[in-house]
Structure 1
């Protein structure tokens, strides 16, 4: 059985799990599956927490536009546009290694304006590990090449990026795990109390939460263009 923690979720869980106002109650021992409705006398839906990071694309970095000439922002000057899509994460959180390796694969779909000749376009991207929703603990820059045949306006390719996370950093302290997983029954005095209402518990969950994020490595001008368009 993998080292996962199971909770009952009483509130909506957003994409950024670490930033959502989760209201948690405790499940009985055992491995619950995400989305299961509990049947131990409590109310809620079980969610599964792993040492593996959530994967995604930071806002404003999933698209890139290249202009020719570079200083122009006219629609007629758009040379190449590209989008990161189909982001998928693979991670084995059940092992005993000191570090957890997260492998993120994604597709890049590009379009060009001038289709006269064959062309290769190389675009920079990054993978970053974010801890607690705000702290960048690692970042790596890569490049992905998209090939266009003569006469071809749209092309796509796939890319893979990896990042490592300390298992110890992504593991909740024992006392916090006990607080979150202690079984409560309906009618108990503290049955309706959210364990995350305790600042120490909430901070521990936040600190042990990681995200593996990929996006295009944009210039300041490209970031500004994405934000204003």
Structure 2
């Protein structure tokens, strides 16, 4: 599942951040390489095509049949990585608009939060609902939702032998300096296994997902 990460950038499973490292993080400082910090905290983001939803009136799917539209925004996350179980939580807003503003109306929109490992394996999934209350005469309204996940620190930690290969100091002229360890298949696989994401999106039907992907 391709995803657009809201708060961090991910490259080959390594998160490039500025700041101080903690125990369990991976710091790469190579003589002729890059500097990187990889956290055991899961990246938080919204997968492609699931960050907005369009509800229609009746069977028509034309623009004049649109009833309500909504989008996930302002995704904010916190992470407690002090224990054996890393706890990550996120909050987000849902901004909605409607066509018919005649009377007050409440709209409930389902969303999901899922923990992914290695970009392809679903570890856990939960379904929730965001409630949006439109006041009479108002075309716009806002709701909010939350998501949370526990990740085993050991599972999110790169094995010691792989860490050694990545962090081994390399000097210009050394034969090993010509090889980026992050391009080696077993290193990439180990990083992927230790990489987790907390993904949030609307719980869409197949038809709604197809609409988002093809419009």
Scaled to the shorter chain, the TM-score interval is 0.7 to 0.9
Which residue, 54, 66, 70 being the options, matches 1:78?
A: 66
Tell me the CA shift for residue 199 of structure 1.
1.9
What is residue 38 of structure 2 aligned with on the other side? 49
Q: Does 1:113 align with 2:93?
A: no
Aligned counterparts, 1:63-142, within 5 A: 63-69=52-58, 71-93=59-81, 95-97=82-84, 99-142=85-128
What is residue 190 of structure 2 aligned with on the other side? 204
Which sits farther off after the overlay, 196-205 or 130-139? Answer: 196-205
The structure richer in strand per residue is 2
Which structure 1 residue ranges, 5 or more long, are not aligned? 1-13, 23-29, 33-37
Contact between 2:32 and 2:171, CA under 8 Å: does it hold in 1? no
User: Over aligned residues, Cα RMSD in angstroms?
Assistant: 2.3
Shift of the 31–101 alpha-carbon distance from structure 1 to 2, 3 Å rule, reads closer
Contact between 1:18 and 1:132, CA under 8 Å: does it hold in 2? no
Give the match's secondary structure for 1:178.
Answer: helix
Per-residue CA deviations over 1:2-59 (Å, capped at 9, x if unaligned) read xxxxxxxxxxxx9443469x9xxxxxxx959xxxxx7x8x345422101111111111
- Residues of 1 paired with 2:32 and 2:132: CA distance? 50
Contact between 1:107 and 1:159, CA under 8 Å: does it hold in 2? yes
Which residue, 13, 17, 20 being the options, matches 2:11?
A: 17
Contact between 2:113 and 2:201, CA under 8 Å: does it hold in 1? yes
TM-score, normalization by structure 2: 0.84
- Residues of 2 paired with 1:192 and 1:90: CA distance? 38
Which residue, 61, 82, 89 being the options, matches 2:50?
A: 61
Per-residue CA deviations over 1:42-88 (Å, capped at 9, x if unaligned) read 3454221011111111111011011111x221222111000011212
Per-residue CA deviations over 1:117-147 (Å, capped at 9, x if unaligned) read 1111110000011111111111110001011
TM-score, normalization by structure 1: 0.80
Tell me the CA shift for residue 197 of structure 1.
3.1
